Structure formats: C-alpha cells, structure tokens
Amino acid sequence: MVPSPKGFRFAAAKAGFKHEGRYDLGLILAERPASAGGVFTTNLFKAAPVQQCIETLCTLRESRALLVNSGQANACTGDEGRVNCRLTLEMAAELAGCELVEVLPASTGVIGQHLKLDKWRAALPRLKESLGEVGPVEVAKAIMTTDSFPKLAWRSLSVNGQEVRILGLAKGAGMICPNMATMLGFVLTDARVEPEAWRRMVSRAADRSFNRVTVDGDTSTNDCLIGLAGGASGVSLDENDEAFMDALEDVCQSLAYMIVEDAEGGTKVMRVTVVGAGDNSQAEWAARAVGNSPLVKTALFGRDANWGRIVAALGRSGAQFDPDRVSVAIGGITIFDRGRPMDGDLDAVLAPLMRKQDVHINVSLGDGPGEYMLLASDLTHEYVSINADYRT
C-alpha cells in the first residue's frame, strides 16, 4: 500500500476517453486549501490546462484539487479548448465542494483533440463515488498513455518526533525532453510550507530531477509539475530544512529515473556526467548533446561502446573546451584520454558493462568548475514502431 500524506483523498474513474475499461480520469483533493506551486512547459504551444494553471497560480497561492486526465491533451485547441477546460473545472469543483479557481487541471494525450465533454459528464458520478475509496495508484494509472507501469515514489521523515510524508506521481515515456518538468507530475506533502517558499522548492526539485532527463529530444505542449503542501501533519517547514528538501528531491529524482527507464521501446538508462567545463551551462550543453544524439542512443541499444559518436557530439555541443584535454569513460573504464583513444582492445572489457540496463558515461572537458548530470534512454526499433502507429 502506498503511504499517502495526511489530508489528501483520491478519486479515479474509467471514462473511456480513448480506451474502454481503463482509468483515465483522476482527482486529488486536499481537505483544506494547500500551498500550490508548479512549473510548466516552455513550449510556445501551451495546452489549455497549462494556460489555465499558469493564470490561476499567478493570482492565487493556494489550491484544493488537481484534476487530471489522459486520452485528450486539449492542446492546440484554441478558445474552445480553454472554454472546455473551464467546464471540466466547474464539474470537478462541484464534486469537490470548492471554487472553480481552486482546481488545477492537467491533461495528456494526442495533440489537437478536444475534450469529450459528454464522457466527462457521464464519468463524474463514478469519480465522485470513488473519492476516498481509491488511492494514488489508481490516479497514477489514470494519467498513463504509452507508459508500461504507473510511476509513484514516496518518502517520510521525522521532524521533532512527528512524521512528515511526501508522495509523487508522474507519467511519461515519450515526447520527453523537459525544459521545466515532465509530461505530468504531481508532488504532495502534509508539511505546512508557506506558498512562496513551496514554489521555490518545487522549482528547485524540478531542476535537479525532471529537467535532467531526455528520451527523444521533444518537449511536450502539456508538461507540468504541480505541488501541493497541505499542512495536515501540523509540521511547519521551509527550504532551509535540508532533510525535507533532500527527501523532496529524492522523490522527484526517483520518478525522473522511472520515466527514462520506461522510455518508449527503451532498454537502457544512460547516465551522462560531465565535469571540468567552463561553467554549469556548458557542461549541460555537452551532456545534452550526448544524451540526445541518435547515433549515441542507437549505439547504446546495440551495446556498442562507440566513443567516436560521444566525442563528436561533445564537439558540436556549443561548449568551449580544448579537445586535447577531453577524457571519456564508460562504466568507470577510460576509453578516450587527452584527446586520444586508449590503447588495446577495450570492447571485450566493456561488453559486460554495455549489457547492463544502467550505463554510466563520464566526460571530463578540462579543469573548469562546470558540471552536469543527465539521464537519457537509448533509441530502439520499438520506439519507431510505437510512434509511427501512435494515432492508428
């Protein structure tokens, strides 16, 4: 059983938005107004629910509920999409016994499809009946699209003898190269945190987790990470509480790993660590060039320790460095040092490392202070099949 933070209830229903007989509509309800914060996609084509959340959080500091659905992204749907989004919030607010503006929406699915309001109306009674009767697992299932498993992570800590819980839910397997968060992600805590501090904490946790993953280099129209801090534990915390911040980041990092682990068609998780760059931004450019390279990703799938593809990606990354000072290691074994390949046949030594699910690639660009770590998936035949047939 997933240990939920105090003060939250969950609801889920099978509305048949895209597939019959599976959860695709969920609600998370806080018993009382909770500090709310979120980070959202930087894609200029922001989906209607993203636009709604941004507008709401610009004026309000607290929320009561999260309304989530899969099957319809409600992205690139114009004014009608915004109107339909608000109509669903009216339905949820009536169910939850709160104001429309206290409900934050999130949607995922095919871009361009409008919400099927007739199915929403039909599903709302079932959603209401399930409130408090289901748990976070069912809500995590309700946001799955091509995901192969529901993604949840939780931590608890003791503060002056009182327990504080943190729970995270996420979805994502494709169209993953976040520049803010992930496809859909939610973090809940029963700690009491002031709204402004909570927003900074959610943003920092996203930067250190979801913002450091890539599957295919595509940033979605619907990406969001939304956090609610309800305070039901009675424990007040802030961003200076290192143990709490570490636990929050740990939850988000666990979810971020699951997203790459569950990448569409993926078989590997590549951990690219870059050090010695001129600054952190240049280290990030280098890491992302490697993690997003189709040639590096396909080599990873083929279990080929092709260092040439790695250094070529570094060279076009935009990071400034001296090529004669670059070193690359896979699984702790240096294969390229000071701008030259190592002597000897390393393929036999690296073969067992390349068969593992987790493959570590360590890069040193010199002796600068910049560093960055990125998680990336491989690129497989199955990825192409899934996305070639996504709408059919």
pLDDT tens, residue by residue, 208-234: 999 999 988 888 888 899 999 999 999
Is the same domain home to 231 and 317? no
Q: What range defines the domain where residue 194 resides?
A: 8-261
Confirm whether 3 is domain-assigned. no
User: What does the pLDDT read at residue 301?
Assistant: 96
Residue 317 belongs to a domain:
yes
The CATH number covering residue 254 comes to 3.60.70.12
Strand ranges (E), the chain: 8-13, 25-40, 62-72, 103-110, 151-159, 162-171, 184-189, 213-214, 224-229, 269-276, 327-330, 333-337, 340-341, 358-364, 368-377
Confidence (pLDDT) at 264: 87
What is the spatial distance between Cα 247 and Cα 261, in angstroms, rounded to a whole number?
A: 21
225 and 307, same domain (yes or no): no
Neighbours of 287 (CB within 10 A): 29
| Same domain for 310 and 232 | no
The whole-angstrom separation of Cα 91 and Cα 194 is 29
What's residue 357's pLDDT?
96
Among residues 201, 226, 261, which one ends one of the domains?
Answer: 261
**Do residues 247 and 343 share a domain?**
no
189 phi-psi bin (left φ>0, alpha ψ -120 to 50, beta other): beta
The torsion region of residue 215 among left (phi > 0), alpha (psi -120 to 50) and beta comes to: alpha
Residues 137 and 216 in one domain: yes
346-354's contacts with Cβ under 8 Å and 24+ in sequence apart are 346/305, 347/305, 350/305, 351/303, 353/305, 354/300, 354/303, 354/304, 354/305, 354/330
Q: Looking at residue 180, what is its pLDDT?
A: 65
- For residue 177, the model assigns a pLDDT of 83
Q: Are residues 287 and 355 in the same domain?
A: yes
Cα–Cα distance measured from residue 248 to residue 52, given in angstroms and rounded to the nearest whole number: 25
Q: What gap in Å lies between CA 391 and CA 39, rounded to an integer?
A: 28
Are 247 and 352 found together in one domain?
A: no
The residues, any chain, with a CB within 8 Å of residue 94's CB and separated by 6 or more, are: none
User: Does residue 215 sit in the same domain as residue 158?
Assistant: yes
Beginning with the edge strand found earlier in the chain, give each strand of the sheet holding 358-364 in spatial order: 213-214, 368-377, 269-276, 358-364, 327-330, 333-337, 340-341
Q: 153 is written with which tokens?
A: 């992570």
Q: What is the pLDDT of residues 157-168, one digit of tens each?
A: 999 999 999 999
Structure tokens at 104: 């934050």
Q: What CATH number corresponds to the domain at position 300?
A: 3.10.20.340
Q: Quote the pTM value.
A: 0.94
In a domain, 1, yes or no: no
Same domain? 66 vs 138: yes
Looking at the fold, whether 85 and 200 belong to one and the same domain comes out as yes
Strand 269-276 with 358-364, pairing = parallel
At 181 the pLDDT is 56
Residues classed as catalytic: 182
In this predicted structure, what is the pLDDT of residue 220?
A: 85
When divided into structural domains, the chain yields a total of: 2
Buried/exposed 239-262: b ≥16 CB within 10 Å, e otherwise? bebeebbebbbbbbbbbbbbbbbb
Q: Which of 261, 279, 313 is the last residue of a domain?
A: 261
pLDDT value at position 355?
Answer: 95
3-state secondary structure at position 152? strand
C-alpha–C-alpha distance, residues 258 and 324, integer Å: 36
Residues 48 and 74 reside in one and the same domain: yes
Q: Quick one: pLDDT at residue 224?
A: 93
In a domain, 277, yes or no: yes
Quote the pLDDT of residue 325. 97
Residues of the chain with pLDDT under 70: 180-182, 392
**pLDDT tens per residue, range 268-297:** 999 999 999 999 999 999 999 999 999 999
Domain boundary among the residues 261, 284, 299 is at 261
The whole-angstrom separation of Cα 92 and Cα 264 is 32
Q: Are 211 and 257 part of one and the same domain?
A: yes
Q: Which two tokens stand for residue 383?
A: 């990825």
